[in-house]
Structure 1
Amino acid sequence: MAAITTKEQQVVVNYMSEELQTIFLSNLDEAPARRRAREAFKDIQLAIDHCLFRLSSDGVKTKEVYEVNSRGLKIFSKSWLPESSHLKAIICYCHGYADTCTFYFEGVARKLASSGYGVFALDYPGFGLSDGLHGYIPSFESLVNDVIEHFSKIKEQKKYQDVPSFLLGESMGGAIALNIHFKQPAAWNGAALIAPLCKFAEDMIPHWLVKQILIGVAKVLPKTKLVPQKEEVKDNIFRDVNKRKLAPYNVLLYKDKPRLGTALELLKATQELEQRLEEVNDIFHIDLLFSTI
């Protein structure tokens, strides 16, 4: 199947069977529905005509796992490992807001694994294939702790204990990676942060009065999708027009307005992060490609 050539999801729907259309247009708030959608769309996604999906998986061993974490949530994770070459290091990936580790990152992970790196990623609670209300972050700190718990179990395995480890964080994942460093200042050899969410652009923050109203409503209705946004999620996340055209294929992408509780947690997280950037340990080598979303 060729890559999408228009901005509208209807073009994608035209390619689908009636069953796939039903899944595509259904409510994906809960994890079981998202998992069914992913299984139905997996073959379609792998057939996309784009460099990230055309990368060969030869010599790369992949594994998908569901595990229940200490909070009782079923967490989806995936790994990409070189089958025969010496393992240079492990890279633990933190995906961005609204996203999943099973779409665009697939090609990046294959490339890294074919170059000798072990790559590990997970879907956060409330995103992708993991348990939780879609797009809802009740506590940013708890989310960070969930990621630490998952990656720590990997790093504690004997075969990885003497291997250098690095964090790779994109957008909100960059903020998560920095918070992981604050909690584990000596645990990582470095990080690469791609457009880390360290601060919201001023034009993305509602007027002061609107923000106060939203804060008040969020105390009662934190899961409500009321936060105003000028652009669609895919337009905020993907600056590359070609990636935007492919976004409808990412059926696990959270496409609705941000939930009130999530928006406030992210705003609070960025405000705290702004105050703590000077605490980043000099030993923790960071490549800051951008400083705002």
Structure 2
Amino acid sequence: MASEIKIKYEEEFILNSRGKRLFSSRWIPENENPKALIFMCHGYAMECSMTMQSTATRLAKGGFAVYGLDYEGHGKSDGLFGLVNKFENIVDDCFHHFSTICEKEENRNKMRYLLGESMGGAVALLLHRKNPHYWDGAILAAPMCKMADDIRPNAIMVTILSGLSKIFPTWQIVPGQDINEIAFKLPEVRQQIKANKYCYKGKPRLKTAFELNRVCTEFEQRLNEVSLPFLVLHGEEDRVTDKAVSKQLYDVASSTDKTLKLYPGMWHGLLFGEPPENLDIVFKDIISWIEERSRYGNTRLERELKQQNEDFVKTSY
């Protein structure tokens, strides 16, 4: 009988290009070589080391090295709490940190996967767009490609947001439902998030609401540009992000390797907000998907080596 994998947890602060300290965390299998690298992109108002700890632990016990980063203005990182001043800043910070890990000598031959939950799904897809051939695949849990209609600002509110966010970007006056109440099925999970001082609980700031709406609107028009292998997961009872757009992503993405899983009766928080039996189903699908692709071999690495050889031949003449 195989021994249980022991997990080593570590954390540190790194500096981004704007001089802000960002909190990073990692869960590494201690008694075996990691099968692959998984980079977590957390949701809006969330953080990695506590709310996504169970997610990371499950994956690490499956033999994967897991890394997380609290975005600026989120969790234990610097920045005004709950403010997304520019979505592209989040993407740049994640790419710099994640790629630094990927380029370490011990990691260069390992496959790289993004795991994006809710807003983190948008971050993962923008990381893919930033460098389309860098990642080996993405797991997108209820990705924020479009907010559900009952929490999305109407056209008049979008116009107001656009104007006011330029003048009063940090104001916390955007109306809307308490996302916590409609995202996570289990009351005890909702209570844990309420008690977590690193999870933002105020009303969305004007600039944050504008940025989230801007990114969602743009995504709807560019879903066909997604080309990496992906697994998209969505609860049938999700009231936060639109499952119809996850279906649309699956239909129109140019990826040749794509999988869609819809879960009857499940809510938005698929990774830590569901009963244990539902979480077992979701993580079995995630781990099986990654392991199946890992068995095919590292096609990205083969492609990179081929390109290096071609470049060498060109420069030799």
**Structure 2 residues not aligned, in runs of 5+:** 235-240, 243-267, 269-317
Q: Distance in 2 between matches of 1:70 and 1:151?
A: 14
Match of residue 271, structure 1, among 210, 217, 231:
217
2:54 alignment partner in structure 1: 107
Superposed, 1:27-176 pairs within 5 Å as 59-176=6-123
Superposed, 1:205-224 pairs within 5 Å as 205-224=152-171
Q: Does 1:237 align with 2:207?
A: no
Q: Is the 8 A contact 1:233 1:255 kept in 2?
A: no
2:232 alignment partner in structure 1: 288
Q: Distance in 1 between matches of 2:69 and 2:17?
A: 15
Which SS does the other structure have where 1:203 is aligned? Answer: coil
Q: State the one-letter code of the partner of 1:109.
A: A
Q: How many residues align?
A: 234
* Cα distance per residue 1:253-288 (max 9 Å; x no partner): 10000000000001000111111111111xx21111
Q: Distance in 1 between matches of 2:146 and 2:161?
A: 19
Q: 1:218 to 1:88 in 2, by over 3 A?
A: same
TM-score by length of 2: 0.71
Q: Distance in 2 between matches of 1:165 and 1:267?
A: 29
CA RMSD of aligned residues (A): 1.6
2:137 alignment partner in structure 1: 190
Q: State the one-letter code of the partner of 2:62.
A: S
1:199 alignment partner in structure 2: 146
Q: Distance in 2 between matches of 1:69 and 1:227?
A: 28
**Structure 1 residues not aligned, in runs of 5+:** 1-56
Q: State the one-letter code of the partner of 1:204.
A: I
Identity of aligned residues (%): 41
2:197 alignment partner in structure 1: 251
TM-score by length of 1: 0.76
Q: Distance in 1 between matches of 2:10 and 2:161?
A: 41
Q: State the one-letter code of the partner of 1:244.
A: R
Q: State the one-letter code of the partner of 2:16.
A: N
Runs of 4 or more consecutive aligned structure 1 residues displaced over 4 Å after TM superposition: none
